[in-house]
Structure 1
Amino acid sequence: MSCCSSKKSTCHYDSSPTRPADELPLETGVNATTASDSTEPETVMLQWTVRGMDCPGCAGKIEKAVSNVKGTLEAKVAFATERLLIKAVTDPAVEKNIKRVVKDAGFTLLETSVSGQKESSPDSFWQCYRSIIIFALLVTAAAIASKFWPDFDRLLFSGATLWGLAPVVQKAWRLARNGSPFSIETLMAIAAMGALFLGETAEAAMVLLLFMLGEHLEAFAAGKARQGVQKLMALTPDKAIKINQDGSRLEVLAATLIPSDLIEVRPGERLPVDGGLVTPSASFDQSALTGESVPVEHETGGKVLAGSLVVDKVVQLKVLSEPGDSAVDRIIRLIEEAEASKAPIERFIDRFSRWYTPAMIGLAILIAVLPPLLMGLSWNEWIYKSLALLLIGCPCALVISTPAAVTSALATASRTGALVKGGAALEQLGKVKTIAFDKTGTLTQGKPQVRHTKVFNERYDASGLLALAAAVETGSTHPLAKAICEEASGRGIPIPEADNIEVLAGLGVQGRVDEQCIQIGSPRHLEDSIKAQPGAQAALVNLEQEGNTMAVVTVNGSLLGFIALRDSLRDDAAKAIQALKGIGISSVMLTGDSPVAAAAIARELDMDYRAGLMPEDKSTAVVDLSRQGAVAMVGDGINDAPALKRADIGIAMGEGTDVALETADCALTHNRIVELADLIKLSRATLANIRQNVTLAIGLKAIFLVTSILGITGLWMAILADTGATALVTANALRLLRHKS
């Protein structure tokens, strides 16, 4: 191949530079107007914080209500972060109507401040629990008074019930108007009013009290599940010290910082944005982001993530991230995206609940009407039984059974530095039978070094070999290319100019130096040149058997020499493979290295391998492995993206490329593969937890369905079947927050 191209390009082998993770499809800027063409209405992005959501079902109610507002183009409610994100036409009336329908649905909207942080909530203990406290006092007073004035007990309990029922009926009506006619509030209102009609006033009051108590228990559980995300959102301060060009310091809003601004952070303070360290070396506590308890030492120029805590001294950093796009912002967006990606079992339960409640309402009507009409039985008795069925017909415990477990598991995973993009990915993790690993940057540190050189042309020595190789590789971001350039520079070797540099996709690079065509590539690409040189093949095999990756250098088509490079294994690589083997998961290394070099590393890690693979070959290998069961692929480079996509679940290293992170279903922000086994065990525990929750929810309802029809249990037990099941399911799901592998 001739060196005639004028492309100044770079190399090729297995890995790529890093970039930030993906963004939400819906922009999150505060009231940020977007440009539109002449054929479309002008749009605006709106954002609020929503208070009062007790479960993911509440988020669905809000989305449905807001989507029905004329002028709303897109609506997304993130339960975990309590954010309402809306794309709507630019019209003050639309914003007003959105606020109205959310309020009508029984939720509170808080404006988002300029810095992007949530304004403090005006809630107090009295405001949160006022209704249930007053109602409990009224019911207690009615119960006590009925002992002294028994003739007025029905009047007293009826008064208390009507007082407590008023907001429930109001909310049920508003939800029905906004597209949720079969809400728990609707069923509760019908049951309580039916009990009053039948004269069961004390029972109506107690059922309503139990319902209100269950609502507060759900709110408490939801708060516990969201604590991890809330702590993450609070990591970045909303203000920063900016250093002006004249050296003066000014406190500014973190949201106003842009790339290239210079900021100063004191010991004990956290970084408001991602920054490049200007100060010569400093230690940062990154445990809140990565789970790594030991402070990390960064050198000048090193990238430090937002939310990191400065440990030892005042530091100066150059801002790297755009407003709203720091590491913390990206993690939060990934969590919100994860919430939108439901597990298959969760999607099934959602579909099931859509017909379950209407079916139970229909059954309740039949129970109330048919026995009295066809068999002449008591109307009061069978209406009472039908009211109990209405309460059993509420699907709350069933609907929350999966998202409560998934939310808790995702929070636990994120706390240890693993971001799983949704319930579907979390469920799939637990089914994995084989994990395929890329080598460079995944099993190894991604920082290879030149270990040996072998020259076959008597006109050159080792320095001449490195000089020509470095000339062609200068400017490349590939780890092997950088290692060759660093070795030449470290030896003080002058590097000549090269031109007409051209990348040979997946194979190597070539260029011209002093009118000579220099090619650098893999042994398989330059096999003919190796065979033409006596003794070269034997030397190649010897170097590869030591686990080296070989760069072959030719001059005008003739073999010049070998550069043997080796990357150090990650400290946790061997431990990770053994931990996976301990839970019944096999591991396979997929690499572009020669079979001999790959075999040396595979022996050291005690794992299987497939070598000499091009990027497309990795995808094929993943498909082959999937015939034996679900396959996960772990990688960090652009070369890995096709395989990550083809695998049942793709896992990207947190310092990997943007493409890898976008393609993957999971990201390891801490870059510790040793915790893969723990993540899979968490997934398996989550699946078991979901099965337990579904069994609890359906089992209790089935039991009380039968006992209610037989007349063994009444309204009290029916509401306990709902609130009790919801409390049990939620408590069971919260155990995942304390999951220990």
Structure 2
Amino acid sequence: MKNSCAAASHCSNQTQSEGSSIEKNHNPSACEYTQLTWLISGMDCPSCATKIENAVKGLTGVNRARVTFATERLLVRAENRANIGDDILTTIEALGFSVKDDRSSEFAAKSFLKKYWRIISLALVMLFAVLIQEALPAVGNVLFYLATLWGLFPVAAKAWQLARNGSPFSIETLMSIAAIGALFLGETIEAAMVLLLFMIGEHMEAFAAGRARQGIQKLTELTPETAYQIDQKGNKSEVSAHILKPGDIIEILPGSRLPVDGELLTPGVSFDESALTGESVPIEYNAGERVMAGALSVDRVARFRVISRPGESAVDRIIRLIEEAEERKAPVERFIDTFSRWYTPLMMFMAILVAFVPPLVFSQPWGEWIYKALTLLLIACPCALVISTPAAVTSALARASRNGALIKGGAILELLGSVTTVAFDKTGTLTEGKPAVTQIVSFDTSTLSPEQAVLRLAAAIESGSTHPLAKAIVASADEIKISLPVAEGVEVKPGLGVQGLVEGKIVVVGSPRHLQGSIDRIAGAQHKREQLEEQGNTIAVVTVEGHLVGFIVLRDNPRTDAQSAITALNTMGIKSVMLTGDNPRAATAIARQLGMEYRAGLLPGDKSTEVEQLKNEGRVAMIGDGINDAPALKAADIGIAMGSGADVALETADGALTHNRVEELPALIDLSRSTMTIIRQNVFLAVGSKAVFLVTTLLGMTGLWVAVLADTGATALVTANALRLLRNKKKG
């Protein structure tokens, strides 16, 4: 059914009033669908997200639905019809979840009362019933019946709604059957206790989920909703940050955060980036430098030119990658998801056999075996098993994000722990990525200022490039105020060089290997090149009409944290290899300084080939930051981009070091190993407790409330064990 755009507009107005947002479709021909977004409250574990997702997918008119547990966001692609938003909201609320709105304090208070009033009142009624049970047993028994019904109503209602929406074997279903069965058997105390313990267990899961999401929630709160925009006449007005576009001029006050990525226009402003990078000391930026969204101005009013589109700032990109990460589950997590889908129906079938076979075949008492069957149902609750892996993975991903590393899912997290080799790009990864011109060697004696003539030609060709070496050359020319001629027909050849037409002549700035023929025609040029490269320098060769006119000598120093990262990896038994397009002599100097292997003189395709060869020795992780690194990042078992790198590198990679510190990598690998250890412990605790209480139940040693207490206890244990990953602070 095709709907009009007017219907889409009506739908947008309705859903936004309920706390949702609309992602606009810029394709006019595709106006039959719209994208709706809500923030959901009440999800205790990833299985809650799955329940909402399945229910919304089942609605007529919904094309796609995705729930992200980490950010509590529901994204729906649905038909443009007036009541589609109402249908979705009704379904969410029927499942027992809520939609967040902008009245945060009022919402929090209502949410608190709604969550805890029923459990507190249930506990009080049960306590009163216990106190009067001996004196007035009939009254006490009635109170236990009432307490059970009071606790059962929301659980059974949710079970019924889940069954209608495609989840008939939910935990709520098992609890409802057990509680109703216990009432029919006259076990009122145990029926009420089962529900009370179940509710407590749910809130423990909610607490764990909240702890795991804290770091991500703080990230979403870093960027303000409004900004002060400066118009062409210099007038200032407060506007929504969502309407800002590249080129707009904005102003932030001291103590305020930047809502978007921006180019600083005010010189000498200090910013607190501790929430983004973990650095406690404010960093001073100069005019023209890029500052990330979320940075806090420390000392003065600052003006910026907006450089990021709505929803595409550094913070938005990190949040988007976190949401995508949930779709890439670890193999062990996918196995447990699959296992739990048939485990619960199987246990329900076993409970039916336990209830009917002994009485019918062996003439055993019906009451005794029905009671055992109900206990078996509670033991069958897969709470502890289902949460064992996602609780650990969510905690690990949250901690990694807090410490400056973003991993796209549990699958990548699991692989990291088995890495045997790490391949590093050099420029911008192992080095600062801020090379500077240290010397100019001219082979042209026809001008009065031969060094400046070489720099003038090179800067003209490189003026439009974003490569670190090109920017260093242009900056050097600007520093001595050289007037640059216009370069025409500039052509970039990745890994080789740049060429263009300057003042009617073909000028090429490239690598020595690419221009070796021109070097060989000048006496002494090759010797000079070797001498400079042995000192750890990078050489840019400049030719005019094929004739060598000079060398531009650049140097990029190693990062201060690179040495500690390589040392830590060596201690962990992991080999480090530098892959660079730089010359072998400069690469040797850097590699010796850092204590690692290297492969030099590589083109982008060569890096991929080297990664493939390294994979023959074991699992390989590749770290890079440039466009040239994208193929190698893709070829590696795990590709990790530097957070300040090119967008294509970040999109290709499986993770990112958002704080731009390679020293986070060893800690990340150690976190992966710790996570897998905790997952194995959690699975053992969850499955082991089930096995023990299965035996004790069939032997008649344990009853309903002990079974649910054991399940709640196992859930608490695996949750607490997983939360240790959050408390495990990074070293140093």
TM (norm. structure 2) is 0.93
1:538 alignment partner AA? H
Distance 1:64-1:124 versus aligned 2 partners, 3 A rule: closer
- Of 622, 635, 646 in structure 2, the residue corresponding to residue 646 of structure 1 is 635
- Of 220, 230, 249 in structure 2, the residue corresponding to residue 262 of structure 1 is 249
CA drift at 1:35: 5.7
Could you list the runs of 5+ residues in structure 2 that have no partner in the other structure?
1-18
Q: What number of residue pairs does the alignment pair up?
A: 711
Distance 1:34-1:539 versus aligned 2 partners, 3 A rule: closer
Question: Which residue is 1:5 aligned to?
Answer: none
1:86 alignment partner AA? V
Deviations 1:146-176 (A, max 9, x none): 1112345443322321222122111111110
Question: Which residue is 1:728 aligned to?
Answer: 717
- Of 143, 157, 168 in structure 1, the residue corresponding to residue 155 of structure 2 is 168
Other structure's SS at 1:264 match? strand
Deviations 1:82-134 (A, max 9, x none): 11111100112322221121111111123469xxx999545254332111111
CA drift at 1:58: 0.3
Moved more, 601-610 or 225-234: 225-234
- Asked if 1 retains the 8 angstrom alpha-carbon contact of 2:101 and 2:107, the reply is no
Distance 1:119-1:328 versus aligned 2 partners, 3 A rule: farther
Deviations 1:588-620 (A, max 9, x none): 100011222211111111110001111011011
- Of 588, 594, 602 in structure 2, the residue corresponding to residue 599 of structure 1 is 588
| Equivalent-residue separation in structure 1 for 2:473 and 2:265 (angstroms) | 27
- 2:106 is equivalent to residue 79 of structure 1: no
- 2:265 is equivalent to residue 278 of structure 1: yes
- Asked if 2 retains the 8 angstrom alpha-carbon contact of 1:409 and 1:737, the reply is yes
Distance 1:538-1:686 versus aligned 2 partners, 3 A rule: same
Question: Which residue is 1:224 aligned to?
Answer: 211
Residue correspondence of structure 1 range 184-263 to structure 2 within 5 A = 184-263=171-250
Question: Which residue is 1:144 aligned to?
Answer: 131
| Equivalent-residue separation in structure 1 for 2:565 and 2:657 (angstroms) | 13
Could you list the runs of 5+ residues in structure 1 that have no partner in the other structure?
1-27
- 2:603 is equivalent to residue 614 of structure 1: yes
- Of 110, 114, 119 in structure 2, the residue corresponding to residue 123 of structure 1 is 110
Moved more, 486-495 or 220-229: 486-495
Percent identical among aligned pairs is: 61
- Of 355, 364, 372 in structure 2, the residue corresponding to residue 377 of structure 1 is 364
| Equivalent-residue separation in structure 2 for 1:725 and 1:67 (angstroms) | 32
2:465 alignment partner AA? S
Question: Which residue is 1:476 aligned to?
Answer: 465
- 2:17 is equivalent to residue 30 of structure 1: no
Other structure's SS at 1:69 match? coil
- 2:574 is equivalent to residue 585 of structure 1: yes
- Of 668, 683, 687 in structure 1, the residue corresponding to residue 657 of structure 2 is 668
Other structure's SS at 1:235 match? coil
- Asked if 2 retains the 8 angstrom alpha-carbon contact of 1:49 and 1:112, the reply is no
| Equivalent-residue separation in structure 2 for 1:366 and 1:88 (angstroms) | 44
- Asked if 2 retains the 8 angstrom alpha-carbon contact of 1:101 and 1:178, the reply is no
Deviations 1:620-670 (A, max 9, x none): 111111112111111111100000111111111111111001001111121
| Equivalent-residue separation in structure 2 for 1:604 and 1:37 (angstroms) | 57
Distance 1:164-1:326 versus aligned 2 partners, 3 A rule: same
| Equivalent-residue separation in structure 1 for 2:181 and 2:20 (angstroms) | 48
- Asked if 1 retains the 8 angstrom alpha-carbon contact of 2:179 and 2:191, the reply is yes
- Of 619, 630, 649 in structure 1, the residue corresponding to residue 619 of structure 2 is 630
- Of 140, 148, 164 in structure 2, the residue corresponding to residue 177 of structure 1 is 164
| Equivalent-residue separation in structure 2 for 1:107 and 1:647 (angstroms) | 41
- Asked if 2 retains the 8 angstrom alpha-carbon contact of 1:278 and 1:301, the reply is yes
Q: Show structure 1 runs of 4+ deviating over 6 A.
A: none
Moved more, 553-562 or 162-171: 553-562
- 2:553 is equivalent to residue 564 of structure 1: yes
Question: Which residue is 2:10 aligned to?
Answer: none
| Equivalent-residue separation in structure 1 for 2:434 and 2:27 (angstroms) | 46
| Equivalent-residue separation in structure 1 for 2:390 and 2:500 (angstroms) | 56
| Equivalent-residue separation in structure 2 for 1:35 and 1:289 (angstroms) | 32
- Of 526, 530, 538 in structure 2, the residue corresponding to residue 541 of structure 1 is 530
- 2:289 is equivalent to residue 302 of structure 1: yes
Question: Which residue is 2:15 aligned to?
Answer: none
Question: Which residue is 2:14 aligned to?
Answer: none
- Asked if 1 retains the 8 angstrom alpha-carbon contact of 2:25 and 2:31, the reply is no
2:472 alignment partner AA? A
TM (norm. structure 1) is 0.92
- Asked if 2 retains the 8 angstrom alpha-carbon contact of 1:520 and 1:554, the reply is yes
Question: Which residue is 1:330 aligned to?
Answer: 317
- Asked if 1 retains the 8 angstrom alpha-carbon contact of 2:494 and 2:628, the reply is no
Moved more, 330-339 or 603-612: 330-339
Residue correspondence of structure 1 range 30-109 to structure 2 within 5 A = 30-34=21-25, 42-109=32-99
1:610 alignment partner AA? R
CA drift at 1:736: 1.1
1:182 alignment partner AA? F
CA drift at 1:370: 1.5
- Which one scores higher on RCO, CA 8 angstroms, separation ≥ 6? 1
Q: Please, what is the CA RMSD of the aligned residues?
A: 2.2
Residue correspondence of structure 1 range 518-533 to structure 2 within 5 A = 518-533=507-522
| Equivalent-residue separation in structure 1 for 2:356 and 2:576 (angstroms) | 63
2:552 alignment partner AA? I
- Asked if 2 retains the 8 angstrom alpha-carbon contact of 1:574 and 1:605, the reply is yes
Other structure's SS at 2:368 match? helix
Moved more, 66-75 or 481-490: 481-490
- Asked if 1 retains the 8 angstrom alpha-carbon contact of 2:515 and 2:541, the reply is yes
| Equivalent-residue separation in structure 1 for 2:235 and 2:584 (angstroms) | 59
Deviations 1:371-415 (A, max 9, x none): 222222222211111111111111111111111111111111111
| Equivalent-residue separation in structure 2 for 1:285 and 1:42 (angstroms) | 45
Deviations 1:694-723 (A, max 9, x none): 111111111111111111111122102221
- Of 552, 565, 583 in structure 1, the residue corresponding to residue 541 of structure 2 is 552
